[in-house]
Amino acid sequence: MIEDREPIRVALLGCGTVGTEVLRLLQGRPEEFAARTGAPVQVTGVAVRRPHKHPNVPEHLLTTDAAALVDGDVDVVVELIGGIEPARSLLLRALRGGKSVVTGNKALLAEHGSELYSAADEAGVDIYFEAAVAGAIPLLRPLRESLAGDRINRVMGIVNGTTNYILSAMDSTGASYSETLDEAGRLGYAEADPTADVDGFDAAAKATILAALAFHTRVAATDVYREGISAVRPGDIAAAKSLDRTVKLLAICERVVAEDGTESVSARVHPAMIPRDHPLASVGGAFNAVFVEAEAAGSLMFYGQGAGGAPSASAVLGDLVAVARNLVVAGKGPRESAHAKLPVQPMGATPTRYHISLDVDDKPGVLSQVAATFNDNDVSISVVRQAGRGEEASLVVVTHTATDAALKSTVDKIAQLASVREVVSVMRVEGESS
C-alpha cells in the first residue's frame, strides 16, 4: 500500500507567489501525489523570513531557520527564494547532505550551475529546475530528456513576458518605450524595478541555461551577449511594420558551423525583427514561446505562460513528482551533460543580418556611396528600398548574413557619410533564410 510507505519529506525554502501555490496544490491533492510518485509526499517545513506574513501556512511548518530545515529530516529541498545568496549556500548544503533539489532560480543556475550540478553528482542526488525557464512551459525536460537522442541546432524564443508585453503594446499602439513601460507598471505587467527584465538580464540567464542543455556545453552567464529593449524606438517598430515584420526580444542559442566544419555555440539576447508569419510573431502580451530546431525532429514550438504563481508552481510540482519517483525506485534523473565542450563565440564573430533604415539626401550618387560602404566591409545586400521625399529620401537596406562585427562597422561608416542625414533604425533580423 502506498500509504504505508515512508513519506517523501519536502522542505520548502521561500513562500512567495510561487511557493504559496506549490503548497496549496500539494496539500490540496495529497492522494494524487502519492499515487503518482508511489509514496506520500509530506511537507516538513517552510522557511520564510517573516512568519507573520504567511497566515495561510500551518504555523507548525513555519521556520526562519532555513539551514536547520535543510539539515533536518528531509529528502527534497524546494528552493523558491530567488537570487544568489542565501539560495546558493542552502542548496549546496542540501546537495552535500544527500538531499535532492528542485529550484526555479535561473539567476543562480546561470551563475553557479556547474557548482550545483557537480555537488548533485558527487552526492548522487537529483537537481531539477523546469521552472527556471519559461514558467509553466515544459521546455527543459524536453531538451534534457525527450530530445536527448537528437541534435539541436537552434533554440530561439521569447522568454521574458514583461518585455514581450511592452513590445507587443508598442507594436499595436505606436507609443514610445517609456510610455509603454509606465503603462505596463500601472497594469502590474512590469515590476517596480524592471531592470532585470527590460535590460535583458532575466532573458540572458535563461539563455545560459538553454544553451547549456541544447548543446551539451557549459555556458557561463558572461558568455551570453545581452541587449535590452530600452533603445527600441517607435521608428524601429514602424520600420519593421513597413516590411511586414515585428520586433521581439529574443533569446537565441545556436550551433554555428564554420566552413572548415568546426562548431561553436552562439548565445545572445537582443531585440530583433522577425517576419509577421513566423510562429513567434503571433506570441503577444506576457506569453512566452520557444522555437526549437533539431536535426531529426525538425521544428518544435513550445508556448504558454512564462511566469505567475500557479503556472510556475505547475513546473515545480512536475519536478517534485519526478524527484520523488526517483527516490521511490532508488534511481536518479539526468546528470549535467557537458561532454561536447563547444567554444562559445563572441558576438562580433556571430553571423547575423541587419535591417538598416536611413534618411539620406535625395541626389545622384547617394545610393552608390551607401552600397560601396557595404561592399568595402564585405557585407552583401539582400533588399534595398528607396522612397524620395523632396530633398530627402528614406533608404531601407536589409543585408545577407555577415559577422556582427562587420555589420556594426558598416553602420558606423554609413553614419559618417555626409549624404546620410540620420540613421533612423538599426536592428538585427531573425527567423528567415539568409
Provide the annotated active-site residues.
206
Closest CA to 268 of 206, 225, 229: 225
For residue 58, what is the enclosing H or E element? none
3-state secondary structure of 15: coil
Number of helices followed by number of strands (H, E) in the chain? 14, 17
Q: Which residues have CB under 8 Å from 368's CB, separation 6+?
A: none
DSSP 341: -
Given 20, 105, 162, 352, the residue binding ligand HSE (CB under 6 A): 162
Candidates 91, 307, 370, 429: give the one binding ligand HSE (CB under 6 A).
307
Task: Answer yes or no whether residue 227 interacts with ligand HSE by CB under 6 A.
Answer: no
Please report how close the Cβ of residue 27 comes to ligand HSE at its closest, in angstroms.
24
Nearest CB to ligand HSE, comparing residues 194 and 431? 194
The grid coordinates of residue 188 equal: 502590474
Q: Which is nearer to ligand HSE, 163 or 217 (CB)?
A: 163
Stretch that binds ligand HSE, among 140-148, 159-167, 289-297, 421-429 (CB under 6 A): 159-167
Of residues 14, 142, 157, 306, which one binds ligand HSE by CB under 6 A? 306
**Cell, residue 218:** 557549459
- Please report whether residue 404 would count as binding ligand HSE according to CB under 6 A: no
The sign of the CA dihedral 293, 294, 297, 303 is: negative
* Contact of 136 with 281, CB cutoff 8 Å: no
Q: Nearer to ligand HSE by C-beta: 100 or 164?
A: 164
Q: Which stretch binds ligand HSE (CB under 6 A): 50-58, 82-90, 155-163, 171-179?
A: 155-163
Q: Rounded to 5 degrees, what are φ and ψ at 399?
A: -95, 165
Does residue number 21 form part of the binding site for ligand HSE (CB under 6 A)? no
Q: For residue 225, what are the β-bridge partners?
A: 268
- Report, in Å, the least distance between residue 242 CB and ligand HSE: 29
Q: Which of 69-77, 116-124, 160-168, 352-360 is the region at the interface with ligand HSE (rule: CB under 6 A)?
A: 160-168
110 is a contact residue toward ligand HSE (CB under 6 A)? no
75 binds ligand HSE (CB under 6 A): no
Q: How many residues bind ligand HSE (CB under 6 A)?
A: 7
Smallest gap, in angstroms, from Cβ of residue 231 to ligand HSE?
Answer: 19
* CB nearer to ligand HSE: pick between 15 and 360: 15
Please, which residue, 7 or 16, has the CB nearer to ligand HSE? 16
Shortest distance in whole angstroms from residue 307 CB to ligand HSE: 4
Q: How far is the CB of 187 from ligand HSE (least distance, A)?
A: 13
Report which of 251, 222, 196, 211 is spatially closest to residue 82, judged by C-alpha positions: 196
Of 22-30, 62-70, 156-164, 349-357, the window that binds ligand HSE (rule: CB under 6 A) is 156-164
Q: By C-beta, is 61 or 107 nearer to ligand HSE?
A: 107
- Taking CB under 6 A as the criterion, the residue among 103, 160, 208, 373 binding ligand HSE is 160
Stretch that binds ligand HSE, among 10-18, 140-148, 158-166, 263-271 (CB under 6 A): 158-166
- Candidates 202, 236, 404, 430; binder of ligand HSE (CB under 6 A) is 202
Q: Supply the minimum distance, in Å, between the C-beta of residue 177 and ligand HSE.
A: 16
CB 379 within 8 A of CB 413: no
| Interface with ligand HSE, residue 104, by CB under 6 A | no
Residue 161 binds to ligand HSE (criterion: CB under 6 A): yes
Question: Is 412:404 a contact under the CB 8 Å cutoff?
Answer: no
Q: What is 372-430 written as a DSSP string?
A: HHHHHTT--EEEEEEEEETTEEEEEEEE--EEHHHHHHHHHHHHT-TTEEEEEEEEEE-
- Torsion angle, CA of 176/179/183/185, rounded to 10 degrees? 110
Q: Measure Cα distances from 13 to 20, 78, 117, 310, 376 in Å.
A: 11, 6, 19, 17, 58
The minimum distance between CB 236 and ligand HSE, in angstroms, equals: 21
Measure the CA–CA gap between 275 and 277, rounded to whole angstroms.
Answer: 5
19 lies in the binding site for ligand HSE (CB under 6 A): no
> Is 200 one of the binding residues for ligand HSE (CB under 6 A)?
no
Residue 86 CB coordination number (10 Å)? 15
Handedness of CA 69, 113, 25, 9 (dihedral sign): negative
List interacting residues with ligand HSE (CB under 6 A): 160-162, 197, 202, 306-307
